[in-house]
Every structure is written in C-alpha cells, then in structure tokens.
C-alpha cells in the first residue's frame, strides 16, 4: 500500500469517519471575505484574530506540504429520551452531546499522528481542532470531505453536516484529493428557515445574529432573540434540521451520550452551584461558556416553555440572586408567565437594591406590560 492508503486505513481503524488530503497552499481566496466580516462586524469574536495565519498554513508549520483533514460524524437524534419528570427540560444541541468534541477530535488526531510516525520517518505536523488558526471548513472542502453549504457548514452525502472537523498540517508529500462534485444547487431551505436571517447565502453569515452565538454571548440577550431560542440553552440547529442532506441520517456515536445532559431539567439546572455544574456538565462542549450564561438561557427557556410552575423559582432569583443579569432576565420571564402583577410582586420589584440598568429596563418594561406606573 502507498503511504496515503496506509493513513486512510489507520484513520478508519481509530474511528475517523472521513479523511481527505489537500496541499498546504495558501487559502488566498478567503482573505477578502474574512476581512469584510471584520469590517462589517459580522464575526462572533471567537475566531482566530490573525487573518494571515488563517489563510497561510506555512505560518503554522514552516515545512507544511500536505494538510490531512478529518471528520468524525455524530448523531443528531437521541437513541434514548430522558425520563419524564415534574420539570420541563431544556436542550443542548447535538454538537454538545457526549464528550466535548475538542477532546474527541484531539484524541483522534493524536492517535493518527502517532500511527503516521510509525509509518514514515522525519514526520513533522501540527494538529488543529476548531480553535486553531486555519478555517476548518475551507480545509475540509478542499480536501474532499464535503462542500460548504449555504449555512456555512461542511456537508457530505454520507454524514450530512453532522461532522466534527479537524486537521493535521504535515510535511508529507501526498497526492491531494479533489473537492466533491455535489452541492446545495437551488435549495435555500436553511436560508428560509433561519429565524434571524443571519445566513447571507454564500456560505457566510452574520455570526452575531446566529442563535447559537446568542446562547453563548455575555450580558443580556437582546429581546429580539429571546423567544426565538425556544427551550435551547446552548446552540442552534435549525439550519441543519431543515437540510435535505441530513434527512434519514443515522450517524454513529462520536462518544457516549447521557440524555439527562443533552436535555437537562431547567429548574434543577438553575439550582446548580459552580462546583455541581462543573462536575455534572464539565465534560460537554457547551460547558465552556460557563454556568451563568447557560443559566440565563434556562431562565428564558422557562418562559418559552410556558412553565408557570417556575414562577416561585423566578421570584427567588429576583429576591436572592447576586447575578444582575439573572435578576433582569427573571423579571422578563415573569412578565411572560404571570397573569397579573399583584401588589406584592410590584413591591418585590421596587425593593431590588442597587438595580443595574438592565434590571431597571426590564422592570420598566414589566410595569408597562401590566399598565403600572413606574
């Protein structure tokens, strides 16, 4: 077998779903769109900041000749639903089910690199998973893993868009693969389905309008987005759910999934301490943003679930929480759930000590909703 064939065989033996090879040539065509996204303020802020490093693989590995792109498929439907209880549940989207995909991919890349070292001498490489310099989707498309859809995700016929991506920049000389010969065509289902119109249509987006970004951003969530997240407390999956390439998929597990962590009970989620959150949810990808932001989302989800049994919990947050964002968000959620503003409730809101501007704004909106002079 050639070295390429040996690497492909090795990749499949360690659970890599797809593997592709491309040159370490620059991705110069990306520069204009990357700079425009910065100029127009469409980036999430989580991207690698140095654009030169994003488009020039040799800035990451000076001896780079071939980039090995890998994809690990993951399921988008739970095999087992969590049991029904007295509590309404929120949702983490499928990319946060099971062990954090950064660990899954890093393990695959480490094992792949170790295996290649056994096959060839003088092997130099640098692995990247999501947080590296290169644009994973651009690498994967050029390496033939799939095409970049109008939703900005890499899509393959075998696994749809439910794939985790990573790459090894290497000094190996390996024949490159060709990009796939299929794509979106005239389909625009993701564009029509996106509730915030964040997709531009050419594979790029206004990331700050994406609901996934909104569930990860700090501070108060803008009113425009609160009802649109429904009961999702991390991520957004709408542009994948509607994609024809994802219909009928039964992707393998990337790691074992606990349904209780995929769809957690909302009220108990709000009662987690920092230590309890880290112990229970610390191994999932969504935990990287921390407990407070996800609990803010859970407060919104309770309102969107029309869970009036949560009213006592929301009152408790307003009365006892030290987190100003949680208090302000709880006031908004109460406004969605209570049928009347009782004198006791009005007084509770007026008695909030040293209220932040967010609290004052939400309290004023609450009073206006029920026709109460502020």
How far apart CA 213 and CA 137 sit, in angstroms, is 18
Cβ–Cβ < 8 Å for 72, 252: no
Look at residues 171, 145, 165, 180 and name the one whose alpha carbon lies nearest to residue 3.
Answer: 171
Residues whose CB falls within 8 Å of the CB of residue 244, separated by 6 or more in sequence, listed in order: 187, 189
Residue among 130, 177, 258, 358 flagged as catalytic: 130
Query: Does 130 participate in catalysis according to the annotation?
Result: yes
Cβ–Cβ < 8 Å for 296, 219: no
Look at residues 215, 219, 216 and name the one whose alpha carbon lies nearest to residue 229.
Answer: 215
Phi-psi label, residue 354: left if phi above 0, alpha if psi -120 to 50, beta otherwise? left
Partners of 169 in the beta sheet? 67, 126
Spell out a b/e string for 33-60, using b for 16 or more CB atoms within 10 Å of the CB, else e. Answer: ebeebeeeebbeeebeeebeebbbbebb
């090894």: which residue's tokens? 168
Q: Which two tokens stand for residue 20?
A: 């592709």
Cβ–Cβ < 8 Å for 366, 374: no
Residue 316 CA to its chain's centroid (Å): 30
Please give the positions annotated as active site: 130
């Amino acid at each position: 077998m050639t070295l390429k064939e040996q690497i492909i065989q090795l990749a499949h033996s360690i659970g890599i779903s797809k593997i592709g090879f491309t040159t370490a040539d620059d991705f110069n065509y990306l520069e204009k769109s990357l700079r425009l996204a910065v100029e127009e303020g469409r980036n999430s802020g989580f991207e690698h900041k140095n654009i030169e490093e994003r488009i020039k693989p040799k800035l990451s590995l000076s001896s780079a000749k071939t980039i090995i792109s890998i994809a690990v498929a993951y399921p988008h439907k739970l095999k087992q639903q969590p049991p029904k209880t007295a509590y309404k549940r929120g949702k983490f989207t499928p990319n946060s089910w099971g062990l954090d995909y950064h660990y899954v991919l890093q393990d695959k890349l480490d094992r792949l690199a170790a295996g290649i070292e056994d096959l060839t001498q003088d092997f130099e490489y640098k692995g990247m998973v999501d947080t590296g310099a290169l644009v994973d989707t651009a690498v994967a498309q050029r390496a033939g893993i799939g095409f970049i859809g109008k939703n900005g995700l890499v899509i393959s016929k075998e696994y749809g868009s439910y794939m985790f991506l990573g790459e090894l920049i290497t000094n190996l000389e390996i024949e490159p693969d060709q990009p796939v010969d299929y794509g979106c065509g005239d389909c625009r289902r993701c564009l029509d389905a996106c509730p915030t119109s964040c997709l531009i249509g050419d594979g790029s987006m206004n990331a700050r309008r994406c609901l996934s970004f909104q569930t990860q951003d700090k501070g108060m969530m803008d009113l425009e987005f609160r009802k649109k997240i429904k009961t999702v407390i991390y991520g957004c999956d709408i542009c994948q759910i509607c994609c024809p390439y994802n219909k009928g998929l039964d992707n393998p597990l990337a790691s074992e999934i606990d349904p209780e962590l995929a769809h957690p009970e909302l009220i108990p989620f709000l009662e987690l301490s920092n230590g309890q959150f880290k112990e229970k949810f610390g191994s999932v990808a969504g935990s990287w943003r921390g407990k407070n932001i996800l609990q803010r989302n859970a407060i919104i989800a309770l309102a969107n679930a029309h869970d009036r049994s949560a009213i006592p919990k929301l009152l408790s947050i307003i009365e006892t929480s030290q987190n100003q964002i949680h208090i302000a968000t709880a006031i908004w959620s109460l406004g969605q759930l209570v049928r009347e503003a009782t004198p006791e409730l009005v007084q509770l809101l007026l008695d909030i000590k040293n209220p932040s501007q967010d609290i004052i704004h939400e309290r004023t909106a609450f009073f206006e909703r029920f026709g109460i002079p502020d």
